[in-house]
């Protein structure tokens, strides 16, 4: 199941606001120019994440639920 929609209005300061959305198995996903977005991931962090993904530590690959 999926729902799509959107709406437009003018904010009290006169800014036009347009929002569109999709709601599906991934949840509610709004989009609009007025919505905040996260900053880009710095290149050094991207490289570190790629390295970690390519070289997993076998020590952390075993499931441990913390029970003794």
Which sequence spans correspond to the domains of the chain? 3-58
Average pLDDT over residues 38-63: 88
| pTM of the model as a whole | 0.53
Average pLDDT over residues 20-26: 97
Q: Is the pLDDT of residue 58 over 80?
A: no
More confident residue, 26 or 58: 26
Length of the chain: 68
Under DSSP, the state recorded for 58 is G
Backbone angles phi, psi at 59, to 5 degrees: -60, -30
Of 36, 35, 5, 9, the C-alpha closest to 22 is: 5
Average pLDDT over residues 23-29: 96
pLDDT > 90: percent of the chain: 76
- pLDDT for the residue numbered 23: 97
């Amino acid at each position: 199941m999926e729902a799509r929609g959107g709406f437009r209005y003018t904010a009290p300061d006169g800014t036009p606001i347009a929002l569109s959305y999709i709601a599906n198995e991934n949840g509610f996903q709004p989009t609009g120019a007025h919505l905040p977005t996260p900053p880009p991931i710095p290149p050094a962090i991207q490289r570190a994440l790629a390295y970690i993904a390519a070289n997993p530590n076998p020590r952390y690959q075993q499931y441990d639920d913390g029970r003794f």
